[in-house]
Structure 1
């Protein structure tokens, strides 16, 4: 069921269709745009593609009319543009170990181009790993901030198990599910990416300052806003499109009907990514949004193996078949199993009675009873036979040895 998603070919080498690397002037201009326009501004994104970043910033600063922008909007851009000092932002970023990654850079994740005019103008990246390489094997894990213990457990387990399988967990560094997913990955020294709605040097929420610091040290912290920027409500919603586009699929754990996590999932679906949900109690309001997602066209997952089977390589990342424990009696030959099943739950029976119940001859039934006795399934009480304690119904160490004997 795996598909190759747009911009997500596993070969991260040079592509003749890629944008050329930005010039120093273009990098400065894109850094300036991150202060002039809000993230995901489709008008500015279209101008960047049509006119280039240098000309776009020049026109915005000069308050020139650009296609689609009214007078009031143009004046707003110009007011911001005249105060921008991108050199200072880049210097401040370097001081905190942050780099500014632009379209055309070797580290730019090309799947973000699927956002069209709403793709980021550039990304402020804190951490030493390759964003492009990590994004190729990444999964978003998102959900409720006010999550339950169950939701926190599932998010942490997914984060840890995905990391141990060589996948990168991406989330928003918020309270609840986000934080649990990050901590799960970090707990096994795995890879994780935090996509923030503020500057990467501004820990938000403040209560996650330590966690955000660990993400930056062990993983990657990325954002669209320049150093020192603080989040707003709308920027959290805009941030979600980056999470959806950056990853191969989005897993939602606990979400109400009105939830930013569902916005991420819907955006992921529009981009052709996999959308998955972890079910919860039907009586929990935090599970209603997830269940509605699953009723639509989300895929139910309960473990990292389910997720990897969807987003991984065809035929190579299949989830193991799930089944109950193999009991020793499950491995008995059919004729022997019929004799065992013929024994009453209480008391005992003679071989003639068991032969009738099992549909065999008395001699063959006696042979089967001796096999069952040797394996510890039955006991003899004079001429009668009865079930031994346990009767081969529990997968005990003794039963494992019996199963091993039978398998040979």
Structure 2
């Protein structure tokens, strides 16, 4: 009897010793960064987006030590089927709670369908098709950084009101390019301008000569590049070689980053009009975060893709903490409840359709003589507020909008 009492006492002591460990167990969240690690979008997203996600996780865990956030990553190779397969494996086998980044609209739309109806979220910070929060909207998805409607609308509005009435588009032959031409045409027409034509080009193309000559012969005031990454860099360089700028043309790149401008060079890119929701030199907060990013990313200046990953992942983590669950509809719903005061994007509102709205800046590539360093590339020439820059919530065809 005495032996039995001792055994019970020891067992109770063991349970008591273990109880705090269970009570203090960290709540786990796993986020998969899915992007182009080796193709035309790799410089703008790629490894830098993984770094940005890790920075967000670290900043969050510093404030919430009772959480363990794990970041994993994979290359979707700019193939919708590959991206969808990775997302499905992550969710079904690896217990990933959210898929982030996803540059390439076709991949983003495919992953959007994978997460629909699941407990996983799509934090589409770099997928640009406005259809993600339009006709294909989902309670599991948010779109954070920009979209084709905002990029086209911001640049289109600015240039139409500054004499750019006649337009010609050179667009990649994919969901991204087609969305930008569609959305750009609507705002140009609404502003009294005209689209004289457009041409679709293969992604990751090397020779744009024939397409540039078509654009030149159109008589357009504005030649707009509805492209991204390395495709845009090649277009900027080859257009300069043909002397189109000297012919009085204005060039606009609808989805271009600081990396693209730096790769093109200020001499070649001078005067190019772009739009971004983030630039490293906008304010003290953007400069401070960019310095931290550069320390971890080989001295690179962050792109809007990278800043978007950081901000959207951090907002998701804060919402997951507030919601008390990792289930996507609940977390995304929490993000929509109140405005978010974001350090890099300023005030952000996530609407019923999943679209995050915030300021969009119109930026002009500097004269080389005005630049003070490698990444001093752009001057701010205008800004549209979130409600001005992004498509009205009732015009996207989202079934979740009442």
Q: TM (normalized to structure 2)?
A: 0.24
**Greater CA radius of gyration, 1 or 2?**
1
Structure with the higher strand share, 1 or 2: 2
